[in-house]
Amino acid sequence: MTDVLVVAELMDGGLRRNTLAAVTLAKQIAEGTGGAFDILSIGEGSKAAADEAAKFGARKVLTAEIAGGYYAEAYSPTVAEVAKGGYGVVTATASTYGKDLLPRVAARLGAANISDIRGASVDGGNVSYVRPMYAGNVFGTVTANTDLAVVSVRQSEFDAATEAGGGSAIEEVSVTSDGAASKVEFVSLESQKSERPDLAEASTVVSGGRALKSGENFKTVLEPLVDAMGAAMGASRAAVDAGYVPGDLQVGQTGKVVAPALYVAVGISGAIQHLAGMKGSKTIVAINKDKEAPIAQVADYFLVADLFQAVPEMAEKVKAVKG
């Protein structure tokens, strides 16, 4: 029997939808081993977020109110202390938040840290995890040799949990702090607000590469297509490194991993690091004037064309169909 603790990610005092991927893993392990799962809502606004988290079938939802913004030194002592309460697995989504917080929790607990998993299975009460290696070209199956495993979940590989009906009991837990937190001060958070879907959660993503040549072309050429399709906008690392768009739009091994229903790659050659972040997409469309571009190997539809002509035409066609 393995009990699982899900560490929820909060934003603006509410539960981030990406947490539901970790809830799906927790349900799978709990049902496979005869255990149960709980959710820890931690941070500013934890009590309000707990009301949302209580809808997804957890045995209970725990709250730990920590004022101010997030930083791992303030959160990890409480998560680690709660995890000592009989859990066999601690999990969160492998977002920037999860990748930052969970390794510190694992270090405090002396626990195995298994990151960015894309699948899990239960056999005879033992849990094994599948995680990508070498930019997703190899998948390894691993198990934890410690009593407790700390596991981050790749959101694009797990369906979001659905509401279970009813509501879980909500309990408040004590906040634990230590000397490390006192040496760090939260100063401010700078975030960009957008009316477009979140890149990691969107069903359609349109990404641009260095071939767009400038940030201005992202606005005048690519954005009309993005908005016509109701999509999230992404970018290759080359476009980000060139300063065309901010880093939070980067798709790839060192950016965000996405798996939308439709991924449109515009002017992206398809370096292995970029493919690692999007090749799980259901349908891939690529527009590139180089017919030998590596992205052709994974694209379902490949248009050999000048993007500066093809993309505006495509945007107009989409608008016409929707109109």
Q: What is the pLDDT of residue 184?
A: 84
Q: What is the pLDDT of residue 62?
A: 97
- Reply yes or no on whether the pLDDT at 308 is more than 80: yes
Q: Which CATH number fits domain 4-182: 3.40.50.2000, 3.40.50.2300, 3.40.50.620, 3.40.228.10?
A: 3.40.50.620
Same fold, 4-182 and 204-322: yes
H or E element that contains 24: helix 19-33
CA–CA separation, 223 and 217 (whole Å): 9
Mean pLDDT for 263-278 is 94
Mean pLDDT for 225-232 is 96
Mean pLDDT for 49-70 is 94
User: Among 51-65, 75-89, 156-170, 228-242, where is mean pLDDT lowest?
Assistant: 156-170
Q: What is the pLDDT of residue 40?
A: 98
Radius of gyration of the chain (CA): 21
Closest by CA to 183, choosing from 103, 71, 100, 101, is 71
Q: 64 is written with which tokens? A: 């730990």
Q: What is the pLDDT of residue 2?
A: 94
Q: What is the pLDDT of residue 201?
A: 84
**Local structure of 69: helix, strand or coil:** coil
Q: What is the pLDDT of residue 194?
A: 74
DSSP assignment, residue 267? S
Q: Which CATH architecture has domain 204-322?
A: 3-Layer(aba) Sandwich (3.40)
Grade residue 232 by pLDDT with cuts at 50, 70 and 90: very high
Start-to-end C-alpha separation, the chain = 55
The dihedral region occupied by 163, where left means phi > 0, alpha psi between -120 and 50, and beta the remainder, is: beta
CA–CA separation, 195 and 91 (whole Å): 29
- Ordered by start, the domain boundaries in the chain are 4-182, 204-322
Residue range 158-208, pLDDT digits in tens? 989 999 877 899 999 999 988 888 888 888 877 767 788 888 889 999 999
CA–CA separation, 172 and 162 (whole Å): 24
- Provide DSSP, 76-108: HHHHHHHHTTT-SEEEEESSHHHHHHHHHHHHH
Closest by CA to 91, choosing from 106, 75, 77, 81, is 106
- Reply yes or no on whether the pLDDT at 137 is more than 90: no
Q: What is the pLDDT of residue 261?
A: 93
Contact indicator for 24, 151 with CB cutoff of 8 Å: no
Grade residue 266 by pLDDT with cuts at 50, 70 and 90: very high
Rounded to the nearest integer, the mean pLDDT of the chain is 93
Q: What percent of the chain has pLDDT above 90?
A: 78
Grade residue 11 by pLDDT with cuts at 50, 70 and 90: confident
- Provide DSSP, 187-245: --------SSPPTTT-SEEEEE-GGG-SHHHIIIIIHHHHHHTTPEEEE-HHHHHTTSS
Grade residue 212 by pLDDT with cuts at 50, 70 and 90: very high
Grade residue 69 by pLDDT with cuts at 50, 70 and 90: confident
Closest by CA to 100, choosing from 12, 182, 184, is 184
Q: What is the pLDDT of residue 156?
A: 84
Residue range 83-128, pLDDT digits in tens? 999 999 999 999 989 999 999 999 999 999 999 999 999 998 899 9
Q: 267 is written with which tokens? A: 């002017």
User: Among 174-188, 252-266, 282-296, where is mean pLDDT lowest?
Assistant: 174-188
Task: Kindly provide the residue ranges of all beta strands, DSSP E only, lying in the chain, ordered along the sequence.
Answer: 4-7, 10-11, 14-15, 37-42, 60-64, 89-93, 112-117, 119-123, 126-133, 138-142, 149-153, 169-172, 204-208, 232-235, 262-266, 283-288, 301-304
Mean pLDDT for 133-153 is 91
